[in-house]
Structure 1
Amino acid sequence: MFTGIIEELGTVAGVEDQGDAVRLTIEAGTVLEGTVPGDSISVNGCCLTVVEHDGSRWSADVMQETLDKTSLRGAAPGDRVNLERAVTVDKRLGGHVVQGHVDGVGTVLGRTPSEHWEVVEISLPDDLGRYLVDKGSITVDGVSLTVVTAGRDLFTVSLIPETLARTTLGSRAPGDRVNLEADVIAKHVERLLTWKDDA
């Protein structure tokens, strides 16, 4: 589980094609402190398992399902990525409950700068709009954000200077793809309300 509060920007150092998977190697520092193989790190909102690390680079195997359903399919050396270690029980939950399980990929539609923030408009896959509400939570490339306006096929968020400077969202341009994770509580509520017990 994660909080959506990004700890650092890493850099993709290598992408090794393994046929039905990819070995992704990322340069990082902060997220490797206290990390051992088997630990989880969120990469642009995707929960990946550390296979190995040497203190400055770490590797994870990205399976076909993840490549098919996230923007990690297009990862290339030099790309910057948002990184966060899994939350521990003694850590403040600064964002919201984030699983690192991407629900779909959206596209940045536009950016409207202001003096102290920037409004970003992002498209939504058809089946995700029902989970968003104004002032609710959404995860975009692993970043916990508050929805400003929620539409059926798009939504907007306002990004403060801290978010623009410390995450990849500061450089995402119209046409760029981003990983989206809806609030897990909304998904559980829907499941409970639509469950039919045929027994």
Structure 2
Amino acid sequence: MFTGIVEELGEIVAVEPARLAIRGRTVASDAKHGDSIAVNGVCLTVTDVDGDVFGVDVMGETYDRTALGGIRPGDPVNLERAATLQTRLGGHLVQGHVDGVGEILRREPGGNWETVHIRLAPGLARYVVEKGSITVDGVSLTVASVDGDVFTVGLIPTTLALTTLGSKGPGDPVHLETDVIAKHVEKLLAHGSAA
């Protein structure tokens, strides 16, 4: 479980068919085999640590359902260690299970922030509500507006400076994780009406 509060901007060091090596001084500082680290919002398991570089295995299904297949050495990535019982929940409950890959449509500068328009992956619109939570590339954000399959979020200077969202532009893919509570409520209601 994560909070969607990115701890650091890491860097992809190596890409192999079923493995990534990632540099992240903060998250690697206490990482050990078996730990979970969210990489651009994708929960991955640490296989090894060498100084400030950690390795993770990546299954074919993960490549199929995310944009990690397009990642290259040198690319920046958002990193967050798994939450503990002592962790402040500054964002919202995030599983690191990507629901789909969205696309940045446009950015609008606005004073000290930017409004970003993102197209939802098919089937996700029903889980996205104005003022609700959504995770974009592992960043916990509040939905500013929703119009069909497009939603907007506001990015403050800290988010722009300290996450990959500050440098992504129109056409770029982003990992989306909708609110897990909405998905559970939907399932419960479906089963309740069938009983």
**How would you bin the TM-score normalised by the shorter chain?**
over 0.9
Tell me how far 1:34 sits from its aligned partner: 1.8
Structure 2: any 5+ residue segments left out of the alignment?
none
Paired AA for residue 7 in structure 2:
E
Corresponding residue number in structure 2 for 1:89:
85
Question: Does 2:149 match 1:120?
Answer: no
In the alignment of these two chains, the number of paired residues is 195
Aligned partners of 2:11 and 2:24 also within 8 Å: yes
User: Which residues of 2 match residues 14-163 of structure 1 at below 5 A?
Assistant: 14-17=14-17, 22-163=18-159
Aligned partners of 2:29 and 2:52 also within 8 Å: no
Aligned partners of 2:3 and 2:89 also within 8 Å: yes
* TM-superposition CA deviations, 1:74-111 (whole Å, max 9, x none): 01001000000000001100000000000000000000
Question: What is the alpha-carbon distance in structure 2 between the residues aligned to residue 4 and residue 119 of structure 1?
Answer: 19
Instruction: Give the TM-score, by structure 1 length.
Output: 0.95
Higher mean C-alpha deviation, range 173-182 or range 150-159 = 150-159
Paired AA for residue 4 in structure 1:
G
State the SS of the aligned residue for 1:192.
Answer: helix
Question: What is the alpha-carbon distance in structure 2 between the residues aligned to residue 197 and residue 160 of structure 1?
Answer: 42
Tell me how far 1:115 sits from its aligned partner: 1.2
* TM-superposition CA deviations, 1:6-54 (whole Å, max 9, x none): 000000000012xxxx210001100012211100000000000000011
Question: What is the alpha-carbon distance in structure 2 between the residues aligned to residue 16 and residue 34 of structure 1?
Answer: 24
State the SS of the aligned residue for 2:93.
Answer: coil
Question: What is the alpha-carbon distance in structure 1 between the residues aligned to residue 192 and residue 3 of structure 2?
Answer: 32
Question: What is the alpha-carbon distance in structure 2 between the residues aligned to residue 198 and residue 119 of structure 1?
Answer: 41
State the SS of the aligned residue for 1:195.
Answer: helix
Structure 1: any 5+ residue segments left out of the alignment?
none
Instruction: Give the TM-score, by structure 2 length.
Output: 0.97
State the SS of the aligned residue for 1:83.
Answer: strand
* TM-superposition CA deviations, 1:97-139 (whole Å, max 9, x none): 0000000000000000011110000001220000011000000
When the two chains are superposed, the root-mean-square deviation of aligned CA atoms in Å is: 1.2
Question: What is the alpha-carbon distance in structure 1 between the residues aligned to residue 137 and residue 87 of structure 2?
Answer: 21
Question: What is the alpha-carbon distance in structure 2 between the residues aligned to residue 197 and residue 122 of structure 1?
Answer: 33
Aligned partners of 1:130 and 1:152 also within 8 Å: no
Identity value in percent: 61
Aligned partners of 1:5 and 1:95 also within 8 Å: yes
